Structure 1
Amino acid sequence: MTANDQAAANQFLQRCIEFLDESVTPFHAVQAMASRLEAAGFQALNEADAWQMSAGNKYYVCRNDSSIIAFVYGEADPLEHGVRMLGAHTDSPCLKVKPQPDLHQHGYAQLGVEVYGGVLLNPWFDRDLSLAGRVSFSDQNQQLQSALVDFKRPVATIPSLAIHLDRGVNDKRSVNPQTDMPPLLGLSEEPMAFQQLLRDELLKQQPDLDIDQILDFEISCYDCQGAGHIGLNGDFLASARLDNLLSCFIGLESLLIADGEQSCLLVCNDHEEVGSASACGAQGPMLASFLERVWPDITPREQLINRSVMISADNAHGIHPNFPNKHDGNHGPKLNAGPVIKINANQRYASNSETSGLFKLLAEELPVQTFVTRADMGCGSTIGPITATEIGVRTVDVGVPTFGMHSIRELAGSEDCYTMHQIFNRFLARQRV
């Protein structure tokens, strides 16, 4: 990199760290994205209203406060040039607080939690945990309201059992999510009233809220340790929720600087980690409905989709130096060796030779790698095949190589993030795809 490129990459990484630290839940991630879009001149749309959209303008719409579509309506005719689509997801595996979570054992107040997604459970022990999410309540007029809450401080932990009491822990240990994972809140003579805790915290942060009664909540635990630029030579980005907020951020950064000539779209769906089958998930109607409202006539819309391409971005598995036999010998992506094109013959990824070829063409001199899982191992999936199935758009699945996927703290290469951003920039500006 030149000195200017390195300075730009460092600034990009710092903005990424700030975004990751803000985005402690999907709700907070969408809020952080919306604030950046509004600052860049994007107009908020409400799905309950009629829309008046025109070329040359920029828009965004949220659903469930946890999924978002941002759209640049380009000056070039989208029926001729199509739409450049970027896709990612806002959710990450975590521990979610149960509806009636108050536990009390041996003088300790605890929270009942359930596992969301494919969580790597062991790293959750002995961490400083906070709580955040969305709270629904009635106001004095008995109207339903919602607000986001973030405790922003360590309020819980899950202590490990001492090795003296479990001598075989380093040989073999299974974790029971029901009995081993309830976080410890503190000493108490009786269960802590969790809804009252939420009410007090909301009013402390937002004193003007009109709260008559807490009705329900969606609250997650998260690690208080912030994102960091680490390694002897600063090679790595370490953070919670890199899968897949890293892709959300990279896509957002590219959309914010799109020149407005081509029509561009970023969709970040919730619930990918649990199958995407929800009103705001990739298997739901959100993206299809958006396209139908912008182009209501079916024939032009089908022409437009045929001329469009989606890059579905979701982190890839980097080859672990301690476990190299977990990768195919010819397909072990290295951190900081470039973004990864994800291939699977059974359509767990949506990439094909045409769309992966386009991604390589966009990269030009920038490094690109390929991931194929071992033939004797199962393969994960992304929103890519689901979105391709739902709307029929040509799709390539890509991602930044990562260690520790689904851990409470994941690791990516700091250079790969900026390289992916550069490729996205070229994609959004490309006249034909």
Structure 2
Amino acid sequence: MTSLAGSVSKNVEGFLDFINKSPTAFHCVDNVKTTLTSAGFKELRDNEQWNIAPLGKYFVIKDDSCVGAFAVGGKYKNGNGFALTAAHTDSPHLRVKPVSKREESNYLQVNVECYGGGIWHTWLDRDLTLAGRVFFRKPNGKISRHFVHVKRPILRIPTIAIHLKRDTNEKLELNKQDHLQAVLALKIEEELNKSTNEKDTTSDGNKKLNDESKKHHSQLLQLLASECNCQADDIINFDLMLADTQPSCVGGLNNEFIYSGRLDNQMSSYCAIQGLVNSLDTLTDETFIRGVLLYDNEETGSESAQGAMSEFTQHTLRRMTRDDYERSISNSFLISADMAHGVHPNYSSLHDRDHRPSLLNGGVVVKTNCCNRYATTAFTATLLKEIARLSNVPLQEFSMRNDMPCGTTVGPILSARLGMSTVDVGAPQLSMHSIREMTSTQALEHYLEFFNGFYNNFKQVYESIEL
């Protein structure tokens, strides 16, 4: 019997291999890095001196999720210009919140946040997993980062049975806060598998503050630790996204279709990079600099240090010919300090129950929003947590409910305009914007000690990062 299916080209196979290895923007950029390195491109660090020369091939990465790649023409001279393609690496997804530990009706759940304008009902009844990056402390005290992609289904967001909601086919209504929380396990299984080796110190012998085990299920941390080959107690922070476990593939009667997530916009990213690499044979006679710019956070407005609204593009292009101000920016770190909302005892339902800075004396508040209304990232929060640990200052996590708009600060603006690593923090208070506001004396003490510790400990923490 003759098969009706058409053959699959090497180009399609290459793309499917790429996108199946790229469940997140971090993985996408890491795979782009592999492609570029194999083609002879040299990585430039944005905190080091650059020496650009004709026929040189270079790439620079910003916060693991944005990359610029450049091939300098053999006949290029300053002022000749650039031939550029721009795309983005991110796609709408559900992201694990800073406090993900959630229990309901004997189910262990993972608290998630909506990134971008997703069609969220398509995430229901899918076999989901986790992917992203994890920051952890090594036995020698250094801080390392590892990209994770759990290769089996561990999460699911089940729909409600039609018997319990008879009009579900006529009117599907999803509350993003209440109906998109993912099921991880049964509570009885969590009790059976709970770690019996809990300790209150890290691998470097220091006392743990802001214990991550209080924010995330122990089984989840143990899973991440096994992926990173570290101890669960040494995990400091992470950026984790939910991802479909069904691989991308070809389909249709004659294999004429590609079935895949993240085509918007990893397909453009892949094709642009391949085009640049494939053009290297004609670079000798080129008078321009050829380049590809792949940004993160396009789906949330591009206003981040690694987004298209940032100074990343200007810094990078300017540094092809000069190199001073931008190096200073790359070695900098910005704390955006604005006051934070403590939970009002009469309006506690207006907060995500797992992200309430409920005590005015509970510590400095780290503000996170995956749509970049706050500038905090896993990397900048990692630095902040280490600074707070060394300063003996407690921290609290704040993230808005999914069904309410989020405020913002100067942090995202400065992060975007400067291309500078930024974190948003605040001290908790009540009656914000009233003629008479209130906080606590302990909040003032924590805030003062925090800034003392920042200026005293930043150099030590910054130099401990291994990326």
2:68 aligned partner? 69
Match of 2:273 among 225, 243, 252: 252
- Aligned 1:19-418 pairs, distance under 5 A: 19-79=18-78, 81-189=80-188, 194=216, 196-197=218-219, 199-207=221-229, 209=230, 213-258=234-279, 259-260=282-283, 261=286, 262-296=288-322
CA pair 197-73 structure 1, distance change in 2 beyond 3 A: farther
**CA–CA distance in structure 1, aligned partners of residues 37 and 231 of structure 2:** 26
**CA–CA distance in structure 2, aligned partners of residues 32 and 197 of structure 1:** 29
**CA–CA distance in structure 2, aligned partners of residues 83 and 45 of structure 1:** 18
Deviations 1:101-127 (A, max 9, x none): 111111111100010000101111100
Measured after TM superposition, the shift of residue 26 of structure 1 is 0.7
Deviations 1:37-85 (A, max 9, x none): 1111111111111112211121111010110011101112255652110
Measured after TM superposition, the shift of residue 206 of structure 1 is 4.3
**CA–CA distance in structure 1, aligned partners of residues 146 and 45 of structure 2:** 17
Deviations 1:131-187 (A, max 9, x none): 011112223344332221111111011111111111111111211111101111121
CA pair 233-136 structure 1, distance change in 2 beyond 3 A: same
Q: Secondary structure at the match of 1:165?
A: coil
Q: Secondary structure at the match of 2:292?
A: strand
Q: Which has the larger radius of gyration?
A: 2
1:366 aligned partner? none
Aligned-partner residue type, residue 232 of structure 1? L
Give the conservation status (yes or no) of the 8 Å contact 2:251–2:257: yes
Measured after TM superposition, the shift of residue 244 of structure 1 is 0.6
TM-score, normalization by structure 1: 0.63
CA pair 111-58 structure 1, distance change in 2 beyond 3 A: same
Deviations 1:257-304 (A, max 9, x none): 11323421001000111111111110011111011111239xxxxxxx
**CA–CA distance in structure 1, aligned partners of residues 79 and 311 of structure 2:** 25
Number of positions where the alignment pairs a residue of Structure 1 with one of Structure 2: 292
Q: Secondary structure at the match of 2:185?
A: strand
Q: What runs of 5+ residues in structure 2 fail to find an aligned partner? A: 1-5, 195-212, 324-416, 418-467
**CA–CA distance in structure 2, aligned partners of residues 210 and 78 of structure 1:** 52
Give the conservation status (yes or no) of the 8 Å contact 2:146–2:228: no
TM-score, normalization by structure 2: 0.59
Give the conservation status (yes or no) of the 8 Å contact 1:56–1:74: yes
Give the conservation status (yes or no) of the 8 Å contact 1:138–1:211: no
Aligned-partner residue type, residue 222 of structure 1? A
Measured after TM superposition, the shift of residue 210 of structure 1 is 7.7
Aligned-partner residue type, residue 233 of structure 1? N
Give the conservation status (yes or no) of the 8 Å contact 2:29–2:66: yes
